[in-house]
A = this chain, B = another copy of it.
Amino acid sequence: MKIAITGKGGVGKTLLASFLSRAFAESGYSVIAIDADPDANLADTLGFPHPENITPISEMSALIEERTGAKPGQAGSFFKLNPKVDDLPEKYCQEHNGIKLMVMGRVKKGGSGCYCPENVLLRALVTHLLLARNEVVILDMEAGIEHLGRATAKAVDKLMVVVEPGRRSVETACKIDKLAQDIGLQNMAVVGNKVRSQSEKEFLISSLPGSQFLGFIPYDQAIVDADLANIPVVDASQQIISEVRNIYQALLSTAQAPAPLE
């Protein structure tokens, strides 16, 4: 199964990606988590011991040029839209607690350009990756909507949109819904995050009528405290672990995924 997690900046995409990766890994799946945000932090959130040793795809200049025909950051040039990618995942990831992590981008040099070639490579990767029954790919997308213009996540089985109780994140979810339909992505679901009360939950449900909600993650100060104390967030909240397990179950039942191990 291939899952992309998207939403407005700051709603908790990386939080959901990390807890969900863990829920899949604990259930016996082999998880490939892909941090697709150049302003990346999934490695930290998952508690990878040496995130600085992960080579992001955006720094593999020779690889990107070889596969897409374009130098990274070079938007004003033609590049291949269907590069070869089937040998990438094994070579370019690190593993920790049963989760393999790939990182799309990190800080480039300022002024060195956009992330178009990297997104082309990532789209090809997500499209052509053939998964075994017990494998799952979880993409933590960049904030906002540009990746939908680029159709980076076109080939996922499920688009999960994270919203928080606030009008802006709901508006972004509506835009994402429209854009996802444009690229033929119909299997969209919503997860509420930082929910403090029943009325906030009801606000989200009434603001997104017709949406499929997979669950509501409560606001937990323990997450903020863990972050400030530089402790892996994925270990910090038992109530979030428990709620994300429910979301994992809901996801499996709606996506009709195969059982992890036979």
The interface of chain A, by Cβ under 8 A from chain B, is 8-11, 14, 37-39, 41, 44, 73, 75-79, 81, 107-116, 119, 142-146, 148-151, 154, 165-168, 171-172, 175, 178-183, 185, 203, 224, 227-228, 230
Q: Report how far A76 CA is from B224 CA in the complex, Å.
A: 41
In the complex, the answer to whether A149 meets B77 with C-beta atoms within 8 Å is no
In the complex, the answer to whether A111 meets B151 with C-beta atoms within 8 Å is yes
- If A110-B151, A114-B150, A165-B224 are given as contacts, then 18 extra A-B residue pairs at C-beta distance below 8 Å, sorted by A number, are A9-B11, A10-B10, A38-B144, A38-B146, A76-B116, A107-B178, A107-B179, A111-B148, A111-B151, A112-B149, A112-B182, A113-B150, A114-B116, A114-B119, A115-B146, A144-B144, A146-B146, A168-B227
In the complex, the answer to whether B228 meets A73 with C-beta atoms within 8 Å is no
Closest to A10 in B: B10
Q: Report how far A75 CA is from B123 CA in the complex, Å.
A: 15
Q: Which B residues touch A228, using CB under 8 A?
A: 165-167, 203
CB distance from A230 to the nearest CB of B (A): 6
In the complex, the answer to whether B182 meets A9 with C-beta atoms within 8 Å is no
In the complex, the answer to whether A175 meets B107 with C-beta atoms within 8 Å is yes
Among candidates B10, B73, B165, B227, residue contacting A149 with C-beta atoms closer than 8 Å: B73
CB distance from A204 to the nearest CB of B (A): 10
Contact A146-B114, Cβ < 8 Å, known A10-B11, A167-B230 = yes
Q: Which B residues touch A44, using CB under 8 A?
A: 167
30 contacts between A and B (CB under 8 A): A9-B143, A9-B144, A10-B10, A14-B168, A37-B144, A38-B144, A38-B146, A38-B149, A39-B144, A41-B168, A76-B79, A76-B116, A77-B78, A109-B149, A110-B151, A110-B178, A110-B179, A110-B180, A110-B183, A111-B149, A111-B151, A111-B182, A112-B182, A114-B114, A114-B146, A143-B144, A167-B227, A167-B228, A168-B227, A203-B228
In the complex, the answer to whether A107 meets B145 with C-beta atoms within 8 Å is yes
